[in-house]
Amino acid sequence: MLFPTIDFAIFFGIVFILNWLLKPYKTYWKLFILAASYLFYSWWDWRFVFLLAASTVCTTTGGILVHRSRTERGRRFALAGTVTAELGLLAWFKYYGFVVQNVDNALHRMGFHGEIPLLNVTLPVGISFFTFMGLSYVIDVYRRKLEPARPIDVAVFVAFFPHLVAGPIVRGRELIPQIAEAHNRDPRSIEFPRAAYLIMAGLFKKVVLSSYISTAIVDPVFANPGQHSALEALFAIWGYAVQIYCDFSGYTDIAIGCAMLLGFQFPVNFNSPYMARTLQDFWRRWHMTLSFWLRDYLYIPLGGNQGGDAMLYRNIMITMLLGGLWHGAAWTFVAWGALHGIGQCTGHFRRKRRAAAGRPAMSDAPLAVAWQRFATFQYVCLGWVFFRATSFNNAFDMLGRLVSGWTMPSPLVTFPVVLTVVVGIGTQYVPPGFTATCERVFSRWGVLMQGAALAAILLVITTLGPPGVAPFIYFRF
């Protein structure tokens, strides 16, 4: 079920009303939200609700076993078993085909010409997200940062539909206390202006900006780079940077807004990532819940920045390579992660050299800041080429056009395309105070005025957007 559809509007309207009517009755409310979340997930394929249930049982059981084990060895054994089971499910559905194909290719190169049978395994929507949420819960119980919750609370935590299929990756200690105390919430405490702003902004980014730029230039150029000019290739690359940002941040804006209307607070997932001055800064701003997850559950356990530069570079590269593989079972995603790892290691080396010479790690002069943001954005776009490309050949064809195609005409680089790229990047430079002012003004209006304003915005979005809505990019991760 896609957010920007009539189906979801009807679904959410019913859930919203029953959510607040049942809130005083704790058990009934939890059962209702759980049923609604499973209905939401089953909209794509009802069979995958059994996978969601299996992941929930694994998470719940793992937390209980880790907590009740009387010895440290027993706790570690329970944690290892749970992590293995969770990652085993993820590996089967997401990486089985990737592994089999690569093994088959390796055997062919070694002279073995038989074919390994390949099963057709469908990738369930959102499996990476709810797997990482389950892992964070069990690991936090192991680290004694979280007490095991009631099974029904864990089930709602894992399956809660606003975050289920594309995040944000909400941790147990962030959401489970809200679930346990949900019956104490008053609907009059809803931050409606903030929720309305997030939902409308998310719809505009997804339905208008992301959908338009993908069909106008990104998809046709990436499909056949050799038939397009260097300028078209350049705007397709910049356009994909806009598309993936508007698509993913649009989804999480809607998810956070919907959760807010139901009485829940989700963590922020994006903070103007294309304003970043370094790659390290970019990862503090892009898909923040994943970045912090990788930091807390992978990078720091590996040793973090302890143990010297060699260990630091190793830990950065392992984290970014696995972060790339998390996004998809393809070598292009691994290359994307490697580019970000190399870039971060290079940045650390450069800053250390400057510090050794008695110079500040980075210059704060206005021109220097502008250059840092420009250079970081271009490097991020280089990574996006491999992220978007269907193969290495496709990626290198795109990059090759930037060198050889400058004399060709560029009919796809139209004023609306340029405007969409400028708006998609420029919106990140809007001062936070402007958003807060709009929300305050909106909150002072009466119900009729607010309804009319939202209806007008929806009319603009549906008028500018294409017929139908493509699935969100991160659904396949």
Give yes or no: 327 in active site.
yes
Q: How far is CA 455 from CA 196, 211, 385, 449, 452, in A?
A: 11, 21, 37, 10, 5
By percentage, how much of the chain surpasses pLDDT 90? 70
Structure token digits, residue 314: 């190793």
Helices 6-22 and 26-42, packing angle to 10 deg: 170
**Does 118 score more than 80 pLDDT?**
no
Predicted confidence at residue 121, as pLDDT, reads 76
Tell me, what DSSP letter sits at residue 450? H
User: Which alpha helices (DSSP H) does 4-126 contain, by range?
Assistant: 6-22, 26-42, 49-68, 72-109
Judged on CB neighbours under 10 Å (0-12, 13-18, 19+), 120 is exposed
Please check whether residue 154 is in contact with residue 119, taking contact to mean a CB–CB distance below 8 angstroms: no
- Show Cβ contacts of residue 365 under 8 Å, excluding neighbours closer than 6 positions: none
Q: Are 379 and 187 in contact (CB under 8 A)?
A: no
CA geometry: angle 31, 32, 33, nearest 5 deg:
95
pLDDT at 477: 64
Compute the C-alpha angle 315/321/324, nearest 5°: 140
440: which 2 tokens? 């305050």
What is residue 96's predicted lDDT score, i.e. its pLDDT? 84
Question: What is the C-alpha separation between 45 and 282, in angstroms, rounded?
Answer: 35
- Give the type of residue at 126: G
Q: Quick one: CA torsion of 449, 452, 454, 458, rounded to 10 degrees?
A: -170
pLDDT in tens, 139-195: 999 999 999 999 999 999 999 999 998 889 999 999 999 999 888 888 888 889 999
Catalytic residue of the set 287, 327, 340, 348: 327
Which tokens belong to 211? Answer: 């959908």
pLDDT tens digits for 348-393? Answer: 999 888 888 888 878 888 999 999 999 999 999 999 999 999 999 9
Q: Nearest-CA neighbor of 77 among 58, 95, 62?
A: 62
In this predicted structure, the answer to whether residue 475 has a pLDDT above a threshold of 90 is no
Q: Output the pLDDT for position 114.
A: 66
Distance CA 345, CA 315 (A): 10
Q: What is the pTM of this model?
A: 0.92
Query: pLDDT digits over 425-465, tens only?
Result: 998 888 878 888 888 888 888 888 989 999 999 899 988 88
